[in-house]
Structure 1
Amino acid sequence: MSWIVFYKLLAIFIVVAIGWFVGRMRWLGEATAGGSGGDPAKVLSAAAFYIFVPALLFRTTARVDFATLPWLTLMGFFIPVLGLMVLVYALQRRRGAGRAGAAVPSVQAITAVFGNTLQVGVPLAAGVFGEAGLAIHITVVSLHALCILTLLTALVELDLARERAAGQGQQSLGEILLSTARNTVIHPVVLPVLAGLSWNALGLRLPAVLDEVLQLLGTAVVPLCLTLIGMSLAYYGWPKNWRAVLGPVAAKLLLLPALVLLIAHWGLGLSGLPLGVIVMMGALPVGSNALIFAQRYRCLESETTAAIVLSTVLFAGTAPLWLGALALLHG
Structure 2
Amino acid sequence: MPSVLFLKLLAIFVTIAIGWAAGRTKAFSGGEAARILSNAAFFVFAPALLFRATARIDFQTLPWRALLAFFVPVVLWMLAVYVWQRRRAAASAPALPAVRAITVAFGNNAQLGIPIATALFGEVGLQVHLAVVSLHALTLLTILTLLVERDLAHAQAQASGQRPPLLHTLLLVVRNTVIHPIVLPVLAGMAWNFTGLPIPGPVDEVLLMLGTAVVPLCLVAIGLSMGHYGLKGAAGAAASLAAGKLLVQPALVLGAGLLLGLPALALAVIVMAAANPTGANALMFAQRYRSQEGEATAAIVLSTLAFVATAPLWLLLLQFFTTR
TM-score, normalised to structure 1's length?
Answer: 0.95
Give the conservation status (yes or no) of the 8 Å contact 2:238–2:296. Answer: yes
Alpha-carbon offset, residue 134 of structure 1: 1.1
What secondary structure is seen at the aligned counterpart in 1 of 2:91?
helix
Q: Is residue 2:179 matched to residue 1:166? A: no
What secondary structure is seen at the aligned counterpart in 2 of 1:99?
coil
In structure 2, the gaps of 5 or more residues are: none
Q: Which residue in the other structure is 1:55 paired with?
A: 48
Alpha-carbon offset, residue 5 of structure 1: 0.5
Q: Which residue in the other structure is 1:220 paired with?
A: 213
Counterpart CA distance in 1 for 2:91 and 2:70 is: 32
String of CA shifts for 1:310-329, please: whole Å, max 9, x gaps.
Answer: 00000000001100001111
Select 1:253's aligned residue among 239, 246, 253.
246
Select 2:115's aligned residue among 113, 123, 130.
123
Query: Which structure 2 residues correspond to residues 129-148 of structure 1 after superposition, within 5 A?
Result: 129-148=121-140
Q: Is residue 2:16 matched to residue 1:13? A: no
Query: Which structure 2 residues correspond to residues 176-195 of structure 1 after superposition, within 5 A?
Result: 176-195=169-188
Counterpart CA distance in 2 for 1:265 and 1:199 is: 36
Alpha-carbon offset, residue 27 of structure 1: 2.9
Select 2:293's aligned residue among 278, 295, 301.
301
Q: Is residue 2:244 matched to residue 1:235? A: no
Give the conservation status (yes or no) of the 8 Å contact 2:42–2:182. Answer: yes
**Structure 1 runs of 4+ off > 6 angstroms?**
none
String of CA shifts for 1:72-100, please: whole Å, max 9, x gaps.
Answer: 011010001101011100111122x1424
Select 1:211's aligned residue among 189, 200, 204.
204
String of CA shifts for 1:96-134, please: whole Å, max 9, x gaps.
Answer: x14241100000000001001122111111111111111
Q: Is residue 2:272 matched to residue 1:280? A: yes
Q: Which residue in the other structure is 1:101 paired with?
A: 93
Counterpart CA distance in 1 for 2:232 and 2:210 is: 32
What letter corresponds to residue 178 of structure 2 in structure 1? V
Q: Which residue in the other structure is 2:314 paired with?
A: 322
Counterpart CA distance in 1 for 2:179 and 2:254 is: 36
Give the conservation status (yes or no) of the 8 Å contact 2:47–2:181. Answer: yes
What secondary structure is seen at the aligned counterpart in 2 of 1:299?
coil
Counterpart CA distance in 1 for 2:227 and 2:216 is: 17
Give the conservation status (yes or no) of the 8 Å contact 1:239–1:302. Answer: no
Give the CA RMSD over aligned residues.
Answer: 1.0
TM-score, normalised to structure 2's length?
Answer: 0.97
Counterpart CA distance in 2 for 1:241 and 1:117 is: 24
- Same amino acid, percent of matched pairs: 55
Query: Which structure 2 residues correspond to residues 31-110 of structure 1 after superposition, within 5 A?
Result: 31=30, 39-95=32-88, 97-110=89-102
Counterpart CA distance in 1 for 2:221 and 2:256 is: 35
Q: Which moved more, 1:147-156 or 1:230-239?
A: 230-239
Counterpart CA distance in 2 for 1:84 and 1:100 is: 25
Q: Is residue 2:29 matched to residue 1:22? A: no
Give the conservation status (yes or no) of the 8 Å contact 1:239–1:303. Answer: no
Structure 1 residues 255 and 171: alpha-carbon distance in aligned structure 2, compared to 1, 3 A threshold:
same
String of CA shifts for 1:43-67, please: whole Å, max 9, x gaps.
Answer: 1011001100000010011110111
Counterpart CA distance in 1 for 2:6 and 2:297 is: 21
Give the conservation status (yes or no) of the 8 Å contact 2:234–2:298. Answer: no
In structure 1, the gaps of 5 or more residues are: none
Counterpart CA distance in 2 for 1:317 and 1:278 is: 18
What secondary structure is seen at the aligned counterpart in 1 of 2:76?
helix
Counterpart CA distance in 2 for 1:295 and 1:241 is: 15
What letter corresponds to residue 154 of structure 1 in structure 2? L
Q: Which residue in the other structure is 2:104 paired with?
A: 112
Give the conservation status (yes or no) of the 8 Å contact 1:55–1:214. Answer: yes
